[in-house]
Amino acid sequence: MNIEEITLKIEILERQNLSKSAEMTNYTQSALTSKVKKMEAEIGQEVFKRTPQGLKITDVGIQYLNFLKLMTQEYDEFLQAIGSAQTDTKISFGTSHTTIKIYGAPIMNALQTNNIPLDVDFIVESSTSLNQKIHNAEMDCALTSNPIKHYSDLNYDMIATETFEVISNNTCIINFEERSPVTLLVLSRGCMYTHAMAEWLKKNQIPFTMKEIKSVSSILDFLQIDNSIAVLNTKLIDLYNYPNIHYYDLQQLNKVIETVFIYKKSESKQSSIFQLKQVIESLLLEDPIEQS
């Protein structure tokens, strides 16, 4: 059973707009047109009427859509039924560079301590990339800052709110009113912290060059260079206990970011994805972040 193909058929039939479906699925419109023709060839009847206003689902199309939804529901129930007999359920779990440094080890420790049969593979990318990969069914779920774009087939459950800081070395304090060029050091160009700070610099007409450095300790070391600033999660800075940091309180910069758990709406609440979500929520209760 190709559950991804069935999910795509449901998307096409529900939306009744191949242009919009192409935008949401990253298929071309011509590829989706071919899939519609293949659907109609499989069942021997039209699933859409072609009208001047666009596609309109037929009665047969509605019946086929309901059948496909029933198949996905029964497939989920089947997976749940055999889940108890499996030793480990593999989950492809996405995190940002910041998230894995703060929560990666605690999540794995909680799974082992509580004997939860989940085999979690961590994938570290930007929130934008993780969001798109879950939408494309390339991974199961992710914990990351709330992305700008929301897909209609995904849930974005807010887990917590977190803060970030704009920092430099206290021997190299920057006067932003002078609008001198600065170097912005970041863990990821696609991070929401990065986006917020870059927008602030542009709005205040401060020239900047962005440097992506995958190591927090290296970022902190690079702050000793003149005219360098960094943007990092507050809890991440606390983990490193680095001396000589100067914190900036910048007007009109909202330093609060929502952290969300992203997954497909089609996932059952009894699935392994929700087990992982519960583990993460329990960790946050033990070590609370600023909750909304």
Contact 257, 164 (CB under 8 A): yes
Task: Count the Cβ atoms, other than its own, within 10 Å of residue 25.
Answer: 20
Return the percentage of the chain with pLDDT > 70, whole number. Answer: 92
Specify whether 25 is located in the same domain as 55.
Answer: yes
Residue 49 pLDDT exceeds 70: yes
Specify whether 29 is located in the same domain as 76.
Answer: yes
| Domain termination site, one of 54, 83, 112 | 83
19/116 Cα distance (integer angstroms): 43
Task: Confirm whether 291 is domain-assigned.
Answer: no
Specify whether 147 is located in the same domain as 8.
Answer: no
Contact 56, 241 (CB under 8 A): no
Q: Which tokens in the block code for residue 60?
A: 């047969």
- The DSSP call for residue 104 is I
Mean pLDDT, all residues of the chain: 87
**CATH code at 46?**
1.10.10.10
**Tens of pLDDT, residues 131-166:** 999 999 999 999 998 888 899 999 999 988 889 999
* Residue 290 pLDDT level (bands cut at 50, 70, 90): very low
What integer pLDDT is reported at residue 287 of this predicted model? Answer: 55
What integer pLDDT is reported at residue 291 of this predicted model? Answer: 38
Specify whether 115 is located in the same domain as 232.
Answer: no
Task: Count the Cβ atoms, other than its own, within 10 Å of residue 49.
Answer: 12
What integer pLDDT is reported at residue 178 of this predicted model? Answer: 94
What integer pLDDT is reported at residue 83 of this predicted model? Answer: 56
Strands 228-233 and 118-124: unpaired
Q: What is the average per-residue pLDDT within 234-256?
A: 90
**CATH code at 199?**
3.40.190.10
Q: Which of 135, 139, 140, 132 is closest to 154 using CA atoms? A: 135
Residue 176 pLDDT exceeds 90: yes
Specify whether 243 is located in the same domain as 269.
Answer: no
Specify whether 170 is located in the same domain as 251.
Answer: yes
* Residue 289 pLDDT level (bands cut at 50, 70, 90): very low
Task: Confirm whether 166 is domain-assigned.
Answer: yes
Task: Confirm whether 50 is domain-assigned.
Answer: yes
**Tens of pLDDT, residues 213-227:** 988 889 988 999 999
Residue 292 pLDDT exceeds 70: no
Specify whether 241 is located in the same domain as 265.
Answer: no
What integer pLDDT is reported at residue 88 of this predicted model? Answer: 60
Residue 288 pLDDT exceeds 70: no
132/99 Cα distance (integer angstroms): 18
* Residue 78 pLDDT level (bands cut at 50, 70, 90): confident
Structural domain count of the chain: 3
> What's at 205, amino acid-wise?
Q
Residue 61 pLDDT exceeds 90: yes
| Domain termination site, one of 50, 83, 116 | 83
Residue 202 pLDDT exceeds 50: yes
Q: What is the average per-residue pLDDT within 267-279?
A: 79
**Tens of pLDDT, residues 89-105:** 789 999 988 888 888 88
Specify whether 215 is located in the same domain as 176.
Answer: yes
Specify whether 50 is located in the same domain as 16.
Answer: yes
Specify whether 206 is located in the same domain as 173.
Answer: yes
What integer pLDDT is reported at residue 84 of this predicted model? Answer: 46
Specify whether 75 is located in the same domain as 199.
Answer: no
pTM over 0.75: no
What's the domain range around 24? 3-83
Task: Confirm whether 20 is domain-assigned.
Answer: yes
| Domain termination site, one of 49, 64, 83 | 83
Residue 230 pLDDT exceeds 90: yes
Highest average pLDDT, of 87-91, 121-125, 284-288, comes from 121-125
Specify whether 16 is located in the same domain as 141.
Answer: no
